[in-house]
Amino acid sequence: MMRMSPPRSPLKNVPRVPEEFATRYRAAGYWTDETFRTFLSTRAARYPDHQAVVDGDRRFSYREVADRADRFAAGLLGQGIRPGDRVVVQLPNIAEYVWMLFGVFRIGAIPVFSLPAHRHREITHFVEKSGAAGYLVPETFGGFDYRGLAREVTRSVDHPPLVVVVGEAAEFVAHTSVDGDPDELAAVESPRAAPEDVAFLQLSGGTTGVSKLIPRTHADYLYSVRASAEICGVGRSTRMLVVLPAAHNFPMSSPGVLGVLHTGGTIVMAPDPLASTAFELIERERITMASLVPPLAIGWLNAPNRERHDLSSLEVLQVGGAKFSAEAARRVREELGCTLQQVFGMAEGLVNYTRLDDAESTIVSTQGRPISEADEVLVVDDDGQPVPVGSAGHLLTRGPYTIRGYYDAPEHNSASFDANGFYRTGDIVRVTEDGYIVVEGRAKDQINRGGEKVAAEEVENHLLAHHAVVDVAVVSQPDEYLGERTCAFVIPRRTDDGEIPTAVELKRFVRGRGVAAYKVPDAVVFVDEFPVTGVGKISKTQLRKALEDELRR
Ligand code: OOB
């Protein structure tokens, strides 16, 4: 099939770390010359026969994974993907994820990460915004046809990317392979891989209509990977179960897939997030470590069949992405017999961990402290003034692996970063005397649905597109299982005979717009008007309070 290549252009408007800081980060050894281009091949040289990836009955050594990455890289080149091209990666937790990702890195192309839950609307945005030349999808996964999605995406963009479907990939590699023609790969080694260049674009949880893309560099990200691996004690004997979507920042690098591969350990892909699946894998694969969002951790704690499995190999359970209650946190050591590690991080950079040897009281009641002594943390009031130690305020941060701005979003950046380059996280925290962070709440207009972030504005825009919606405000509502769920307050337009749409109809409408299922509002409440603030803006605080009062009743 003929394919129109997108006009090739380098990434534009990538905010950079000022040279003064870069010099400091290099001098301190945070930033090194390593890049993702050679990351896998150096590990393969160091641990050739060690098991790198397990996926069901399939087991791959470091050498095998690196060889497949090279062949895939050559295949991509053969199909016209070039250094600097963006490639949207939408793969589930399968072994192919690892070598396809490193195949993209190998030729100096730039992955754009997306989640298996994303649909037409989101993927189209990522392809267009990044100017992607490639798009990697599974054939089907979890009963969903990604080939159909890819067809829809290619039809709606001006410059359709090359679609690579896993499952067809074997054939794809075979007929484009450079087995016996390594020159093709060698040719792209020549442009120097610059460690301070953008390595990939990661997704932000988002607070606006569409997700912003986060430009992470080789140097900044690899620093967070190395330091995380050390803090979390991973090494050759680590066997990590990957339950959360592998492309999310937490399972990717905190210390995640990359931290484990960095140190020669083994990653085991979980095909689904069910507790029963995880328990079987922990027992069979002698898993030592896993990372979960709070609802999944609570699911493990409450699973009726847990006693039937031998979970004794499990040493560390990481929980993060959303607030883990102290009550649930306390149960981890008592009931699962392993050490809990709380992880409070963000794709924009800053990651905090409780340390494995912290006192149990610190582990259960805080969200940890920053990775690096060079992470700068500010807690300020609404006027930007620092609050006294121990008081709650807005968390701002700057450091060797925190971005200075989103990709190509100058306006958004001027609101999200202060004049000194500090990132406004939108989180309300307090910092204890000994430097541990406790997350108290959130100022950003986002719903944290069990770790999945939903930008209120994005859902509001979808609802506003419905002819019978006059106005809408999306807020969080406390939920026993998810922590928070989404509730849309809607002012409906009545038809001539006084009819208004139903909640089911509006939910179906949002889903029909081609968005990830987790963005469909959990509840829809029809109202005649919204409460307003003193200056006449919709008061989301009052709406949230109304929901809480209702729940209490
Ligand atoms: C992780 O990354 P994102 O980018 O999906 O979300 C970041 C936001 C934070 O700003 C905060 O609002 C929330 O998620 N969050 C937590 C939390 N961990 C993240 N809120 C309360 N307690 C926690 N432990 O979610 C992420 C990235 C790397 C490692 C871990 C999580």
Domain boundaries, the chain: 36-50+60-193, 221-443, 450-552
**How far is ligand 1, taken at its centre, from the CA of residue 232, in Å?**
17
What is the Cα–Cα distance from 288 to 266, expressed in whole angstroms?
Answer: 10
**How far is ligand 1, taken at its centre, from the CA of residue 205, in Å?**
9
**Residue 180 confidence (pLDDT):** 36
What is the Cα–Cα distance from 150 to 144, expressed in whole angstroms?
Answer: 12
68 closest CA partner among 152, 172, 143, 212: 172
**Residue 188 confidence (pLDDT):** 63
Whether the CB of 249 sits within 6 Å of ligand 1: yes
Could you give the count of Cα atoms lying within 13 Å of 453 in the half-sphere of its Cβ?
Answer: 28
10 closest CA partner among 408, 545, 304: 408
**Residue 1 confidence (pLDDT):** 42
> Which ligand 1 atom is nearest residue 451's CA?
25
341 closest CA partner among 307, 315, 305: 315
- Angle, to 10 degrees, between the axis of helix 146-156 and the axis of helix 120-130? 50
Angle at 260 between CA 254 and CA 264, to 5 degrees: 160
**How far is ligand 1, taken at its centre, from the CA of residue 451, in Å?**
7
**Residue-wise pLDDT tens digits, 368-377:** 999 999 999 9
Among 346, 424, 429, the mutation site with the greatest number of ligand 1 atoms within 8 A of its Cβ is 346
Whether the CB of 214 sits within 6 Å of ligand 1: no
Q: Using CB atoms within 10 A of its CB, is residue 86 exposed (0-12), middle (13-18) or buried (19+)?
A: buried
- 425 bridge partner residues: none
The helix (H) or strand (E) run that includes residue 104 is: helix 95-106
- Three-state DSSP class for residue 377: strand
Identify the residue whose C-alpha is closest to ligand 1 atom 5.
205
Compute CA 259 distance to the chain's CA centroid, rounded to the nearest angstrom.
Answer: 15
> Which ligand 1 atom is nearest residue 368's CA?
24
**Residue 205 confidence (pLDDT):** 85
What is the Cα–Cα distance from 274 to 222, expressed in whole angstroms?
Answer: 31
**How far is ligand 1, taken at its centre, from the CA of residue 82, in Å?**
33
Whether the CB of 322 sits within 6 Å of ligand 1: yes
**Residue 335 confidence (pLDDT):** 97
> What does the block give as tokens for 216?
């992470």
* Radius of gyration of the chain measured on its C-alpha atoms: 23
Whether the CB of 206 sits within 6 Å of ligand 1: no
**How far is ligand 1, taken at its centre, from the CA of residue 6, in Å?**
34
> Which ligand 1 atom is nearest residue 439's CA?
21
> Which ligand 1 atom is nearest residue 425's CA?
10
> What does the block give as tokens for 454?
């939903």
> What does the block give as tokens for 81?
């993907």
What is the Cα–Cα distance from 376 to 452, expressed in whole angstroms?
Answer: 26
What is the Cα–Cα distance from 373 to 28, expressed in whole angstroms?
Answer: 11
Whether the CB of 427 sits within 6 Å of ligand 1: yes
- The CATH class of the 450-552 domain is alpha beta
Could you give the count of Cα atoms lying within 13 Å of 290 in the half-sphere of its Cβ?
Answer: 31
> Which ligand 1 atom is nearest residue 204's CA?
4
Per CATH, the architecture of 36-50+60-193 is what? 3-Layer(aba) Sandwich (3.40)
**Residue 457 confidence (pLDDT):** 97
- Three-state DSSP class for residue 298: helix
Compute CA 387 distance to the chain's CA centroid, rounded to the nearest angstrom.
Answer: 30
- Three-state DSSP class for residue 68: helix
**How far is ligand 1, taken at its centre, from the CA of residue 448, in Å?**
9
Whether the CB of 254 sits within 6 Å of ligand 1: yes
Q: Are strands 349-353 and 213-217 parallel, antiparallel or unpaired?
A: unpaired
**How far is ligand 1, taken at its centre, from the CA of residue 508, in Å?**
29
**Residue 186 confidence (pLDDT):** 72
Q: Using 70 as the pLDDT threshold, list the residues of the chain that sit under it.
A: 1-7, 168-183, 187-193
The helix (H) or strand (E) run that includes residue 378 is: strand 376-380
What is the Cα–Cα distance from 74 to 80, expressed in whole angstroms?
Answer: 10
Whether the CB of 205 sits within 6 Å of ligand 1: yes
Which positions ≥6 away from 17 have C-beta within 8 Å? 25, 196, 220, 404, 421
Is it true that 36-50+60-193 and 450-552 share their CATH fold?
Answer: no
Per CATH, the architecture of 221-443 is what? 3-Layer(aba) Sandwich (3.40)
> Which ligand 1 atom is nearest residue 446's CA?
12
> Which ligand 1 atom is nearest residue 320's CA?
24
**Residue 187 confidence (pLDDT):** 66
Whether the bond between 138 and the residue before it is cis, its omega within 30 degrees of 0, is no
> Which ligand 1 atom is nearest residue 444's CA?
12
